[in-house]
Chains A and B, each alone.
Chain A
Amino acid sequence: MSNYKIVIIHDDLPDNDPLIAELEIKYGQGSVKLIKKSQEGLDYVLENLNQKIIVILDLNFKTGEPSGVQVFEDIRKKTSLVYVLIWTSSDIADINKDDLKSMINNDALGLLSSTDDLDKILNMVDLAAHRLDTRVSSALEDWINSQPELDRAKPYITSKEGKTYNLNQILEEVRLQTPFGMQTEKNILLLAIDMLVENEESKNGEV
């Protein structure tokens, strides 16, 4: 389970918080990074998009730092593949309505409250890890990142509309969920289903 990076962006969480210890037991030593300044947290996430990242993001930061929602929106401008859990000390009813809309519309994948017990937070992280493992886009990201850098930069596919993509660009399109990126995900899923059905049919044929 050590191939995940769990980035906690939170200005009040102590370094020795039990959550960090529990996550490191479960996901491996060094798998958790606590960052107390929101801009630094954002920069870290965007510089490490080649890893499977789960972000636990506090909503409220000290004046002068980007808010949690701002960080969240900036992550989503670059990728939809990072799993973001919002962690707030506020009651949901107290969250600004526009912020809430932004979280829902930009696919925040979980909402944690500071009153949630440790088990509940750990379960949410487990769910996030599971979803990261089972998403087509994540599998594609893993595969592209495993290719030699030189190969990733070579033209890979050209649409007859005239757009050429190399593997890095395909990954970028998937991260940004552009029409081409979404079509690519769909193509892979349909191909996988075809292959499964064919395997099943050939098994049945052998009986």
Chain B
Amino acid sequence: MAKFSIAFDHADAKLGHYFQSSRDDISAFITQHDNAHHVHEIPSANCTQGYIDGYMPSLNGERSLFIAYSHGNNEFLSSVNGKYILSPENTEHFTNCFLYSMACNTGKILGPEVVAKGCITFIGYKDSAYALLGDEKQLSIDCDNKAIKEFMNGSSAQNAVIRMKTFIKESIRELVRNKKALKASYLRHNLAVLVIYGDSGVLFNSFN
């Protein structure tokens, strides 16, 4: 049994539906993977620094996975209620954590910083990242969630990222075949800015 925390800013005016759908997708996968996994949900109302500062220490430094679906920037993850994980204020709370952030830019400063403070592994984007909408929304979510799913299925963190990149490349080819090259080009950008820091050989079973 692994412990998951899922932050999702479903109340965001523009991308709330995307963050909600991303969370629904991974929640369904986690349940299917093993009903015994423990999932703690952090919706918009709790995506605040105050909540994180109280909640994370309550995990007592046990190994856990933290997944974030929200906006972000170089030094923070944010929601409609403000910044909830930010450098340097509360990055020390992620010791022994596997942090999976699908927000923009968090791989620039925040990711390396949490790893320097004891976070086991960080996977995220080091630049702007894009969400495809319309008919390609599910494809975009599948791309975003690919590495965490692969990791849970037994790939090392590094191999999970490699599989995610392979999946994004296949999705790009499919979009180009369907004459959606412009959308494919934004996915290609996501591919280029996906990064992993920390222990790349870590396996999911070490979180059970």
Contacts and interface: CB of A to CB of B under 8 A. Distances in A.
Interface of A: 140, 143, 154-164, 167, 170, 183-184, 187-188, 190-191, 194-195, 198
A188 B128 contact: no
B40 interface: no
A163 B103 CA distance: 13
Q: SS class of chain A's interface: helix, strand, loop or mixed?
A: helix
Q: SS class of chain B's interface: helix, strand, loop or mixed?
A: mixed
B133 A191 contact: no
B104 A160 contact: yes
Interface string B75-103: 00000000000000000000000000011
Given A162-B12, A162-B71, A190-B192, A156 B185 contact: no
Contact of A157 (B173, B186, B192): B186
12 contacts: A143-B182, A155-B133, A156-B133, A158-B14, A158-B131, A158-B133, A159-B130, A161-B128, A183-B128, A184-B186, A190-B192, A198-B173
A156 B129 contact: no
Contacts of A194: 172, 188
Given A157-B133, A190-B192, A191-B172, A162 B185 contact: no
A170 B14 CA distance: 17
B54 interface: no
Contact of A160 (B128, B134, B181, B185): B128
Contact of A187 (B73, B104, B129, B185): B185
A188 to B, nearest CB: 5
Nearest to A161: B104
Contact of B181 (A159, A161, A188): A188
Interface residues of B, number: 31
B106 to A, nearest CB: 10
Contacts of A167: 182
Interface string B173-208: 100100001111110110010000000000000000
Closest CB pairs A-B (n = 7): A187-B185, A160-B104, A191-B185, A188-B185, A191-B188, A161-B104, A187-B189
Contacts of B71: 160-162
Nearest to A179: B128
A183 B15 contact: no
B149 to A, nearest CB: 19
